[in-house]
Structure 1
Amino acid sequence: MATVDAESIASVVRTRALHPERIAELAASRRQPAGLVGETGRLLLVAADHPARGALRAGDDPLAMGDRAELLSRMIRALDRPGVDGVLGTADVVEDLLLLGALEGRVVIGSMNRGGLAGTVFEIDDRFTGYDAASIAAAGYQGGKMLFRIDPDDPATPATMQACAHAVEQLAGQQVMAMVEPFISRRDEGGRIRNDLSTEAVVRSATVSAGLASTSAHTWLKLPVVDDMETVLAATTLPVVLLGGEVSTDQGAQFAAWSKALASPSVRGMVVGRSLLFPPDGDVEAAVDATVEMMTT
């Protein structure tokens, strides 16, 4: 297992400063995964694309994901556990992991639109500021992920929708996965965007996102776990991965909800970030192992 200490972080910085070409070399030479799913028969990814959107909070700590060495350490600890297939992240995080030697044989999904910065007046205008389909394919990664929030009251929504449709089209052209994470979203009385997690809203967002582009052949949906997942999953024939969501103070209840949703054959995996990397008790390995166990039962 790669280690993340002061020396390894210094090495990453030194390579970035003096030999930036090394990043492309490592991407080109890395051992590719055998497929999108590993030993569990489902896909389990550790997500760390939140920082690029300015969303650093985990639990009660508003800057939990702001310490890069700590974030990388927790990601590598998670990746070292049996049953974890890979990562979802922006280029900076993915390239840090490449330089640390942590992505051999791993599924890598590049995060594409991070322009809707958390807490801004332009948050729903989720522009594509990260990976594009060509860079994902050129690096030998397995797909791209996009956030698609639909705010019925925000005229910026159609532009994001069009951009997501274009990204799905381009990823399909490269024959790599397009992972779409949709929500119906609205601003609350304080002006903050809140995702509507009612069954009706999640079903609607799933059906709209499934219809993006001229083909859905390579599209997977990343959906939140809500009370009536049976109705949500009945809305689409596309493969679904579950969104881990925020860190919960009641981890047992959160795991029970995940386990229930995983019983459906439509659910082909999970993408979990803060819930695994920053569990309430701090035990990353135990949180990952419990999730893997749920995926294999």
Structure 2
Amino acid sequence: MNGSGETGIGAGRRRLLRGAVAGTLGAAGLAAASDHSAYPADRDAPGRDPGRGEGDASSLSVALLLYDGFTALDAVGPHEVLCRVPGVRVTTVARKEGPVRTDTGELALVAERATRDITRADVLLVPGGGDRGVTAMMEDADAHRWIRRIHRHSTWTTSVCTGSLILGSAGLLRGLPATTYWASRPYLEKVGAVYTPGRFVEAGKIITAAGVSAGIDMGLHLASRLADEKVAMAMQLAVEYDPDPPYDTGSPEKADAETEALALKLLADSAR
């Protein structure tokens, strides 16, 4: 252990990452991460505004919405990428502060702020969830009003997996190309969106990601938008995101009907 209680390996990794980011980012990258001149003029300057969450005067704010029944990796995947981008502060938000349970009920993340206290954010991120959680959010008028309020002034409004159905239910996807979890593609049309294949789909300032792990892809893409490609590529290496799965059944186009049925059964059986 070092003086701060970190192991030598952990402390060393942090020093290496800090050095790598400093070397690749440089003065120009830092300016890009903190320069807000390209954003809408009616946006408040980010900083210690209590409606924006915590952060210094140059930080870009990401509001990560949690709700009962969200899927862990939908939130944690992009969070792991974005929270390490220089000049970015990710704040977890829910109806009220405190622990919020995932769709399995076996894990909880802590919401740092209540939605009533967050009125603006540079980025809104809505994860997907299990049937129970997403269905409730698709019918939650209060949540929809908050999402629309944040979207009105956001630079980017994003979702992962079935989070796009929540954005659509809030009225944000009408006529727009979007993606979602493979088994939920038919529902996109019901919320006014046009299903478009892809790990993530960008339509104006809205970015929707496909299912679960695709949130990491979207997070890296968003990192390039919030900083630059060098930072995004460095973050991909920092989290060692180099997928090489032992099987090739990661999309319905590659899996047979039996595998699809089992996948949905596993999800249903694990739901709280």
Q: TM tier, shorter chain?
A: 0.3 to 0.5
How does the TM-score come out when normalised to structure 2?
0.35
